[in-house]
Amino acid sequence: MMDWFIGNISTIVVSTIILGLVLLVIRKLVMDKKKGVTSCGTSCSGCAMAGSCCRKPSIKEN
Amino acid sequence: MKLKIALAGNPNSGKTTLFNALTGSNQFVGNWPGVTVEKKEGRLKGHKSILISDLPGVYSLSPYSLEEVITRDYLLDEKPDAILNIVDATNLERNLYLSTQLLELDIPVVIVLNMMDVMRKNKETLNLEGLAKALGCPVVEISAINGEGVDQAIEEAIRLAKAKKTVHPCHYFSGEVEHGLAHIEEAILHHLPDQTQRFYAIKLFERDPKIAKRLEMTPAQLAHIEEDIKICEAAFEDDAESIITNERYNYITSIIERCYLKRREENVSLSERIDNIVTHRYFGLPIFALIMFFVYFVSVTTVGAWITDYTNDVVFGQLVPNAVEGFLISINTANWLNSLILDGIIGGVGAVLGFVPQMFVLFGFLAFLEACGYMARVGFILDKLFRKIGLSGKSFIPMLIGTGCGVPGIMASRTIESDRDRKMTIITTTFMPCSAKLPMIALIAGALFGGAWWVAPSAYFVGVGAIILSGLILKRTSLFSGNPAPFVMELPNYHMPTAINLWRSMWERCWSFIKKAGTIILVSSIAIWILTNVGMAGGKIGLVENFSDGFLAMLGGLIAPIFAPLGFGDWQSAVATITGLVAKENVVGTFGVLFGFADSGQAGTALWAPLASHFTTLSAYSFLIFNLLCAPCFAAIGAIRREMNSGKWTWFAILYQTGFAYGVSFIIFQLGNLVINGIFGLGTIAAMVLLIGLIAYLAKPGLPTGQARFRGKKGGQVI
């Protein structure tokens, strides 16, 4: 067991780093989603809507 | 002491530029009216207790547009401690119309005369003291773009706010109107503070329904004041709202006669001379087409492509993969992990990031066109065309924003008052090629068409064409029939954009793209690699030698036949199309993983040789068209859901977009196959029937008459 662990230590470390990175990205995406921040291709300061994505539209549906 | 200071003024008067100067923020500044749709807030530099609000630009405090509602509600409900009223000094008459209304709100007002440098350049002078005396409030001159006078303006606003010194409006209307207003104040507004009674009395005189509701007027009270209004209307032979408007303009004219001096003879300005050419009734559209062709040609096919080739060949083709591979081998990681990192992560993310230089060049051009004022003219040029299909030029603003990203484009449709026009704009806005679609356009133009000059510009015109065609189709249905609402937009003067504004605009968009590559595209690339390399082989689940045994190939194989009539019925293209729903960049990222972008060892377009061998030019173009026009990414679908406020309408939009994309690609591929390859089959017949049916449907009478006309200001002249 120990030999296997030592023999694959580099794979385990790199895999763990990638897994951690992916989990962090997913966490950020989920948190953004909860905050109402969309994954759109522009930043809030560059947007005419000024980051008000999560706000309900003022115009009611007919 | 906490203070709230609001920036209010006409559209495109320089509020956001002043907001950025005051708060140090980087809000987007565009040279077309309606850049600010929602209010923005920030703290004054060096004074954290002072909140600055940048309100959407409005021409009046009437409740006719969303911007006017947002601005008026904020001023009435939040009651800021002071208002900085930005007035475009080069267009005093129109700007002071709003000022006369702000002065009635019982809030301290400082008039900030912006663009005084332009005024001086035109050899025009203004008596500031006389203006301040006539308006009854301080007047400060600034040049927001150069930062001149900004400190003095904010200091004046803080002084007034601290002193709580409200302004008593100096302007009075004709005797009959004042008599009517006095009656309204006396009859039903006496319970309000003296200073606010006048604003509400004028609004009730104008029969403003929102103000009547806000004041909880009873039908009896409304009937009572209606008598006074009718007496005035009879005396002036005009409606109440027009009476007030005329009275305000009479007052403004009297101020301008006293305070404004135009030394130079009335000459045709540079803006007017340019407009005479670029908005010409016959040449306007061809000039627009030529400009956009040039922009896409240079960005995607020439300059942008040279830099991208270098990035792809050297950075993501050699430097990064070689360095990472060398490192992984040196630490002796497992082969599957090397493949995941090199083929999955670098292959997918690198393939997308390689197109950043092209995006940088493209957004540089678009930012220049927006900031110099040309894009506002495009709204005017397209209004005539859009009106024929039942949309107004106002729909162009969301489409203009949509070239950056569909999400804010869809949200910008909020400013369209007509529910029918708004829904149609939402459905068609994402036809415009957004930044996420650019890598796909560049990839297909470069790798599959050998950098053909027409492919990239055609993507833009296919988007515009799809909007026009959809307008024609949808307007003939009962859901969208009817005339478009009138469109009024002031055309700003042309000016040379500042380098910092251009840089900010380009950087904001590219940085967002890079961040997206590092998040959604990264996770998607890893998922695609796993699903490609893991599958059933020999009755067991595990790593597979051949991609065609992977789970992704199995899933892709199930949906691939749907796309076979469009010319790309292979599992790789089907998977790329589906992953494009997560984010459109994923189309290229998926190809990067599936065709070993980081592993090909080739250079230039040969880097994508395995992909190129997979398509014919016709099927590649069909693939491009389908992915440009089909349902947008999930973020944009979410925005459609929010703006439509209806699940049914969202599904209608998605199904229409996908059906439309399928139909167009089908016709292109099947008829192209007949013309280019001489292949005739059932598909060709079906495509012909579809095309003839569409033409027959559009040839039916019943087009909207388009009676409403565009009204605006062309280079300083109202047209």
Give residue-wise pLDDT tens across range A18-51: 999 999 999 988 888 777 666 665 666 656 555 5
CB B40 within 8 A of CB B27: yes
CB B443 within 8 A of CB B450: no
pLDDT of residue B652: 96
Q: Tell if the CB–CB gap between A25 and B522 is shorter than 8 Å.
A: yes
pTM of the model: 0.78
Is B63 an 8 Å CB contact of chain A?
Answer: no
pLDDT of residue B36: 60
Is A24 an 8 Å CB contact of chain B?
Answer: no
Higher pLDDT, B492 or B221: B221
- In angstroms, rounded to a whole number, what is the distance separating the alpha carbons of residues B9 and B447? 49
Q: Tell if the CB–CB gap between A22 and B407 is shorter than 8 Å.
A: no
Select from B416, B523, B582 the residue whose CB has the most chain A CBs within 10 Å, as the one to mutate to test that interface: B523
> Dihedral sign, CA of B577, B578, B582, B588?
negative
CB B354 within 8 A of CB B591: no
**Prediction ipTM score:** 0.82
Residues of B in contact with A61 (CB under 8 A): 419, 644-646, 649
Is B436 an 8 Å CB contact of chain A?
Answer: yes
Per-residue pLDDT tens over the stretch B447-480: 888 878 899 999 999 999 999 899 889 888 888 8
Measured between CA atoms, how close is A58 to chain B, in angstroms? 8
Residues of A in contact with B504 (CB under 8 A): 46
In sequence order, which ranges of B354-485 are alpha helices (DSSP H)?
A: 356-372, 374-388, 396-402, 406-411, 419-429, 438-443, 455-474
- In angstroms, rounded to a whole number, what is the distance separating the alpha carbons of residues B194 and B201? 11
Per-residue pLDDT tens over the stretch B666-704: 999 999 999 999 999 999 999 999 999 999 988 877 654
Select from B333, B426, B502 the residue whose CB has the most chain A CBs within 10 Å, as the one to mutate to test that interface: B333
Distances (CA, A) of B79 to B39, B55, B109, B196: 14, 13, 12, 12
Half-sphere exposure (CA, 13 Å, Cβ side) for B442? 35
Chain B residue whose CA is closest to A62? B419
Asked if residue B710 has pLDDT above 70, the reply is no
Residues of A in contact with B405 (CB under 8 A): 40-42, 47
Confidence of residue A62 (pLDDT cuts 50, 70, 90): very low
Mean confidence (pLDDT) of chain B: 85
Enter the tokens of residue B90: 């080069």
